[in-house]
Amino acid sequence: MYKNKLRSLDIVFIFLGGLVLLFIISPLLGMFLSTTPIQLFETSKDPEVLKSIWLTLRVSFLATIFFAIGAIPLSYFLARSNFRLKKLINGIIDLPIVIPHSAAGIAILGFISRDSVLGKIASSVGLNFVGHPVGIALAMAFVSIPFLINAARDGFENVPVKLEKTALNLGASPVRVFFSISLPLAWKNILSGLVMMFARGLSEFGAVVIVAYHPMITPVMIYERFGSFGLKYARPISVLFILICLIFFILLRALTKEKEHRNA
Amino acid sequence: MLELKNISVKLGEFQLKNINLQLEKGDYYVLLGKSGVGKTVLLEIIAGLIKHRAGQVILNNVDITNHKIQNRKVGIVFQDYSIFPHLNVWQNILFPIKKRKISKKRKEELVKKFAELTNISHLLDRNPQNLSGGELQRVALARTLITEPVCLLLDEPLASLDVQLKNGLRNLLRKINHNGVTILHVTHDYEEAIALSNKVAVVHEGEIIQKGLTKEVFKRPANEFVANFTGIKNFFIAEFLPENIAKINGKIQIKVSNKANLQKGRIIIRGEEIILSNNKIESSATNNFKGKILQIIPYLANYEIIVDIGIELSVVISEESLHILSIKEGYEIWASFKSTAMKVI
């Protein structure tokens, strides 16, 4: 009796879950199926498209690496110390996830425009972040950095404090303890945070489009092609971009897995 | 050598109060106490891992109370070994000297030397995940010994090992101590204290209630807690009557050989010196009581029999005797012991 009940419940769950899966897969599959290989091939030869994809990958990658330099120590600090405003700081870190990304773009624009302090410093050396890859990188980092900080903090929290204390007791300096114990042991989480941040940066549209329409990152170009030429012209570039992103993630995943395997 | 002066610390529910301890060079000092009384905390205070409220830690006449962890020159080996999981055995042992300004060859020699001492030379390229508890313990010891600590702090080093490994590791600890390393070892097991230490301190409710030479502490436990804890089970407070008679709990009268002119005192009777028999026997034992067997507790090599003769006596007998006497719980039995088997302390 109980077994039967469970089975019918399973069927309901599988059915409902299947619907959700279908919902995720079918639009993507539809898009892939309505793009012919010829269209895809033509698009992959379009220098404007290639330039845009390369720009997107490069800027998101550099933004991730650059901000990791500060984000990883911050994560370590949050994992290891207890202070009164810790909850507030954790909340602030999650803010970019919950606010509308267009609003985030407006905020970033105000932050880097020529009237701002940062903008003034930049223009004194002849730079304008608005409409510049640096502006794009800032917008991408703003919306994607919570993924890195949260993952890295979880990673550091999972490293037993005792191992760090043991290393200190064995005569290692705190800097050496961080680099030889804490960082390697939290590395799996950090790497997955880096991949997530990179991925989130690649896919960002709302914040970036406000800071820089040109040079055009691929999500903006997809929107532009759709606005100017319609669905048919936006599809191949979308498919191409998704494919390139997928290749990257599969490679990065494989890298993470290999690392895991070696640690085991 | 190592001196603790009035160490006090409060951590959540429990606290350590006014701990004073002095280790001489070459000592094997065992800190004996039940689990959760703060023995580990004390080691962590010495190593600087925990900040304490009051008191001083003095090592070789230098007050290291506020020294950084990495500059203290005391090596701690944790109960859970704390082996770095991402490094293999070789890398774990090398870790403390990796950044030292000595030649690579010298470093390799040192790793090999301590691996040999701890008998793990064959495990050097293994990952910690594939090692047993005893092997991990040896890796942890080698890794700490390579730092050449002035004092070695051991937290329950034998607790999670089986008997065979225990014996091997005990021999290793003796060897390390004989090589001149001063050791402070915390444990809940009095047998470890007997087997290894020259000095012992008993911790109870956050305080050291007795300390001194191991022989002395075991011979003359300061109170019932120490007596129970150090493994002497038959420990009674007695009133002494004329003609060398001791009255225990106001009911049982026992003949003693020497009451040292006391009116009240403590008596200990070693469980190994009590003879059990099915009938009353004629012997030189002047104390003969009929009692009831309350409990039979099996140990590794022998059995502890709890006999109620008006007071509860703990008697240690062999398996052979258990069978010969066909001892069962609830049976009646005679317990005999000589008046000289008792110590009045």
pLDDT, residue A251, reads 84
Distance from CA of A147 to the nearest CA of B (A): 25
Q: How many C-beta neighbours within 10 Å does residue A154 have?
A: 16
What pLDDT is stored for residue B259 in this prediction? 58
| Overall average pLDDT of the A152-170 stretch | 96
- For chain A, give the percent of residues with pLDDT over 70: 94
Longest dimension (CA), chain B: 77
Averaged pLDDT for residues B127-132:
94
Residue A130 has pLDDT above 90, yes or no: no
User: pLDDT at position A4, please?
Assistant: 61
pLDDT score recorded for residue B343: 76
**How far, in Å, are B163, B203, B294, B337 from residue B320 at the CA level?**
22, 37, 19, 20
Helices (H) and strands (E) counted in chain B, each on its own, are: 9, 20
B48 → chain A, closest CA residue: A169
CB contact under 8 A, A163 and B80: no
Closest-approach residue (CA) in chain A for B84? A163
How much is the ipTM here? 0.83
> β-strands B151-155, B74-77: how paired?
parallel
> What length is written for chain B?
345
pTM: 0.79
**Chain A residues with CB-CB distance to B85 below 8 A:** 163, 185, 263
Residue B229 pLDDT exceeds 80: no
pLDDT at A260: 57
A:B CB pairs within 8 Å: 54
pLDDT, residue A264, reads 44
Cβ–Cβ < 8 Å for B138, B114: no
> Which of A170, A180, A181 is opposite residue B143, by nearest beta carbon?
A170
Per DSSP, the residues of chain A read -HHHHHHHHHHHHHHHHHHHHHHHHHHHHHHHHTS-HHHHHHHHH-HHHHHHHHHHHHHHHHHHHHHHHHHHHHHHHHHH---TTHHHHHHHHHHHHHS-HHHHHHHHHHHHSTTSHHHHHHHHTT---TTSHHHHHHHHHHHHHHHHHHHHHHHHHTS-HHHHHHHHHTT--HHHHIIIIIHHHHHHHHHHHHHHHHHHHHT--HHHHHH-SSSPPHHHHHHHHHHHH-HHHHHHHHHHHHHHHHHHHHHHHHHHHHHHHHH-
Nearest C-alpha in A relative to B79: A162
Sheet with B342-344, strands from edge to edge, namely B252-255, B245-248, B234-241, B264-269, B342-344
Contacts of A4 (CB under 8 A, 6+ apart): none
With tokens 């925990």, the residue in question is B50
What are the backbone dihedrals phi and psi of residue A242, each rounded to the nearest 5 degrees, phi first? -60, -45
Mark yes or no for CB contact A170/B95 under 8 Å: yes
Q: Distance between CA atoms of B238 and A155, rounded to whole angstroms?
A: 62
- The pLDDT confidence band at residue A221, using thresholds 50, 70 and 90, is very high
**Is the confidence at residue A262, as pLDDT, over 60?**
no
Q: Are B308 and B253 in contact (CB under 8 A)?
A: no
To test the contact with chain A by mutation, choose from B69, B91, B97, B136 the residue with the greatest count of A C-beta atoms within 10 A, namely: B69
Q: By CA distance, what is A174's nearest residue in B? A: B70
* Confidence band for B168, pLDDT divided at 50, 70 and 90: confident
* Confidence label for A3 from pLDDT (cuts 50, 70 and 90): low
The reply to whether residue B70 touches residue A263, judged by beta carbons under 8 angstroms, is no
Q: Are B141 and B79 in contact (CB under 8 A)?
A: no
Which of A232-246, A249-263, B54-68, B127-141 has the weakest average pLDDT?
A249-263
Confidence of residue B243 (pLDDT cuts 50, 70, 90): confident
Q: Residue B150: list chain A partners with CB under 8 A.
A: none
Taking the C-alpha atoms of residue A239 and residue A165, their distance in angstroms, rounded to an integer, is: 50
pLDDT of res. A135: 94
Taking Cα atoms as reference points, which of B167, B135, B159, B131 lies closest to residue B34? Answer: B159
Counting residues of chain A whose pLDDT is more than 90, the rounded percentage is 79
At A252 the pLDDT is 78
Q: Measuring CA to CA, which residue among B83, B81, B62 is closest to residue B73?
A: B62
For residue B93, give the chain A residue with the closest CA: A170
pLDDT at B56 over 80: yes
Chain B contacts in chain A segment 143-182 (CB below 8 A): 160, 162-163, 165-174, 176, 180-181
Q: Do B70 and A168 touch (CB under 8 A)?
A: yes
Report CB contact under 8 Å: A166, B78.
Answer: yes
% residues pLDDT > 90 (chain B)? 45
Q: Is the pLDDT of residue A134 over 60?
A: yes
From chain B, which residues contact A within 8 Å (Cβ)?
Answer: 47, 49, 68-70, 72, 74-76, 78, 80, 82, 84-86, 95-96, 99, 129, 143-144, 147
Please name the residues in contact with A181: beta carbons below 8 A apart, sequence gap of 6 or more: A159, A163, A164, A167, A172, B84
**Which residue of B59, B67, B84 to mutate against A (max A Cβ within 10 Å)?**
B84
Q: Mark yes or no for CB contact A170/B84 under 8 Å.
A: no
- Which of A120-129, A230-239, B94-103, B262-271 shows the lowest per-residue confidence on average (mean pLDDT)? B262-271
Q: Say what the pLDDT of residue A259 is.
A: 58
Q: Region A138-158: what's the mean pLDDT? A: 96
Tell me the sheet residues that pair with A152. Answer: none
The tokens describing B277, both together, are 């028999």
What value does the mean pLDDT of chain B take?
88
> How far apart, in Å, are the Cα atoms of B162 and each of A7, A101, A117, A195, B166?
47, 60, 68, 45, 6
Domain map (residue ranges) of chain A: 56-217
Q: Residue A162 is nearest to which of B68, B78, B86, comparing CB atoms? A: B78
Q: How distant is the Cα of B172 from the closest Cα of chain A, in angstroms?
A: 21
Query: Span B43-50, mean pLDDT?
Result: 91
Mean pLDDT of A63-91: 95
Does residue B161 or residue B89 have the better pLDDT? B89
Dist CA B243 CA B54 (whole Å):
52
Interchain pair B75, A176: CB under 8 A: no
- Asked if A169 lies within 8 A of B86 by C-beta distance, the reply is no
Q: Does domain B234-344 have CATH number 2.70.170.10?
A: no
What mean pLDDT value characterizes chain A? 91
Contacts B84 to A, Cβ<8 Å: 163, 166-167, 181
CATH class of A56-217: mainly alpha
Q: What is the pLDDT of residue B263?
A: 75
Q: What is the mean pLDDT of residues A154-172?
A: 95
Q: Class assignment of domain B2-224? A: alpha beta
Q: Tell me the Cα Rg of chain B.
A: 24
- The predicted structure's pLDDT at residue B300: 66
Distance between B85 CA and the closest CA of chain A, angstroms: 8
CB A96: neighbour CB atoms within 10 A? 19
